[in-house]
Amino acid sequence: MSGLMLVLLAPLGVLFALLCIQKPLTVSLPLFAASIPFGSLIGIGHSRFSSLSSILGFLMLIGLTLRLVVVRKQRAPLSGTVFLWIAFVAVATTTALWSLGPSLTANGVLEIGSLVALYALISMNQIDREIVHRVEQGLIAGGLAAVGYGVVQLTLLGGFPNDVPGLPPGPGGRFGNDMLGPNNNAVAFLLPFCICLQRAATAPKASTRRLHAAFAFLMFVGMVMTGSRGGMLAAVLCIVVLIAAVPRGRGILAAFLVTGVIAGLVAFFLHPLGLAEREVSTTSSSGRTSIWKVGLAACPQYCPLGSGWETFPIVYERTQPTVPGAEVLVGKGGSYQPHNVILLVGIELGVPGLLFFFSVLGLSLVEAWRLPRAVRGPPLAALLGTYQASLFLSNLGYKFFWMAFIMVALYRSASYLERAEEREAAELDPVR
């Protein structure tokens, strides 16, 4: 029966793929944005490239490349961040020569190289306001769908999935365990959260403001359901940045900040309906403090040139016995990660990788700040919030991390196009 269904659906899949290739910015990119919170939950197979978002990303790479050939090049000068990210990937590739795990490094370079290629191609294509709006709508739709899925788990399916394989949903489970992971899912909500808050504060119509205030609240509920403290701190930073960046509506955002902090504290201390309830065991895996201690102990040996991209688990395994008090990591492979993006890049890519990483982050923040004030809030706030969260996570290979950079590129290109069109209109109509 499954084979028959596959045969019947294959033509539809081919048509969908052709549509995504034909319209990479108006179809593929919004769908890609919407699929990010679900991770491998929606996909085919179990490889790191089999999720729906990865498939859409691959189709986008094809479509964007073809689009550069037949469509006029964008008017905005190419951002220096493109060259910095390419240099970053070059450093990661070079570490394969002395990597502690050459196959791990090769797979990791393929993954991050594809994300950088996607970012570069989007930056080189011409973007208008309609494309930006569609991507924003995709982010919001995906966030709401993911939150709705979590609410169904909580109310109808016995609770959130457990992070221990084989145990049923219920107490001890966390929202996101079957998607990106609770902490990463919390960060994936930041960008649509910021977009909704901006609209809740600045939209001309009261009905639009109320609707997006409700959407922002639901995104906040999604973060609380994950039980991620780092995600909640990042959300607070996002609101503070929005208050400073938006042209109007600061009172609405300040009220949301106060309400959100109170609601978050209630959820984390009282756990209504089991929200934000976590069971933490120190006997089965090491906490962040222990991980950071081992990483810092390994830095003198590996930070000059790096241990090889994606090899921190090997570094931890080799260094942990020499660090007093550091625990042996067992359980999920994710617990071997450094839980800090600076430590990740420093250990795996060394000083060269750190230089390019901080350079591209700094330039991206400058570009976000230089956006027109009417649109600068969400990309700037999401970029800072995502970076803050990355100080507690190893999320450089996750698509939500790159989506924050992609949105800066989209807003930047659309703003350049609008200014160019305004100048042309003024030249054609001197009286105006």
Q: Is residue 230 part of a domain?
A: no
Q: Which of 142, 197, 120, 111 is nearest to 385 (CA)?
A: 197
Q: What is the mean pLDDT of residues 225-239?
A: 90
Distance from C-alpha of 110 to C-alpha of 93, rounded to nearest angstrom: 9
Q: Cβ atoms within 10 A of the Cβ of 173, count?
A: 26
- Condensed to tens digits (0 to 9), the pLDDT of residues 147-174 reads 999 999 988 888 888 877 667 776 677 8
pLDDT of amino acid 330: 54
Residue 24 DSSP symbol: I
What total number of domains does the chain contain? 1
51 DSSP β-pair partners: 43
Q: Is residue 101 part of a domain?
A: yes
Over 90: is that where the pLDDT of 142 sits?
yes
Distance from C-alpha of 60 to C-alpha of 121, rounded to nearest angstrom: 9
pLDDT of amino acid 77: 85
Distance from C-alpha of 150 to C-alpha of 295, rounded to nearest angstrom: 34
Over 90: is that where the pLDDT of 424 sits?
no
Q: Is residue 134 part of a domain?
A: no
Q: Is residue 179 part of a domain?
A: no
Q: Is residue 362 part of a domain?
A: yes
- Condensed to tens digits (0 to 9), the pLDDT of residues 238-274 reads 999 999 998 888 888 998 888 878 877 776 676 666 6
Distance from C-alpha of 329 to C-alpha of 210, rounded to nearest angstrom: 47
CB-based contact 194:234 (threshold 8 Å): no
Q: Is residue 180 part of a domain?
A: no
Residues in the chain: 432
Q: Is residue 152 part of a domain?
A: no
Q: What is the mean pLDDT of residues 284-308?
A: 84
Q: Measuring CA to CA, how many Å separate 305 from each of 268, 293, 309, 344? A: 42, 20, 11, 13
Over 60: is that where the pLDDT of 282 sits?
no
Contacts 24+ apart (CB under 8 A), 160-165: 160/225, 163/332
Residue holding tokens 């042209």?
247
Distance from C-alpha of 154 to C-alpha of 158, rounded to nearest angstrom: 6
CB-based contact 209:200 (threshold 8 Å): yes
pLDDT of amino acid 430: 60
CB-based contact 219:189 (threshold 8 Å): yes
Q: What is the mean pLDDT of residues 297-323?
A: 92
Distance from C-alpha of 216 to C-alpha of 224, rounded to nearest angstrom: 12
Residue holding tokens 């499954």?
2
Residue 328 DSSP symbol: P
CB-based contact 179:146 (threshold 8 Å): yes
Q: What is the mean pLDDT of residues 363-380?
A: 94
Instruction: Name the phi and psi angles at 98, rounded to 5.
Output: -130, 20
Over 70: is that where the pLDDT of 75 sits?
no
- Condensed to tens digits (0 to 9), the pLDDT of residues 320-349 reads 888 887 666 654 444 578 889 999 999 999
Q: Is residue 163 part of a domain?
A: no
Report yes or no on whether pTM surpasses 0.85: yes
Q: Encoding tokens for residue 2?
A: 């499954």
Q: Which of 114, 109, 66 is nearest to 309 (CA)?
A: 109
CB-based contact 142:179 (threshold 8 Å): no
First to last CA, the chain: 67
Distance from C-alpha of 245 to C-alpha of 117, rounded to nearest angstrom: 30
Quickly list DSSP for 239-304.
Answer: HHHHHHH-SS-HHHHHHHHHHHHHHHHHHHHH-GGGTT-----SSSS--HHHHHHHHHHHHHHHTT
Q: For residues 168 and 236, which has the higher predicted lDDT (pLDDT)?
A: 236
Distance from C-alpha of 310 to C-alpha of 292, rounded to nearest angstrom: 16
Which residues, 6 or more positions from 115, have their beta carbon under 8 angstroms from its beta carbon?
A: 57, 397, 399, 402
Domain range holding 120? 80-126+291-411
- Determine which of 104-108, 234-238, 366-370, 418-422 has the lowest per-residue pLDDT on average: 418-422
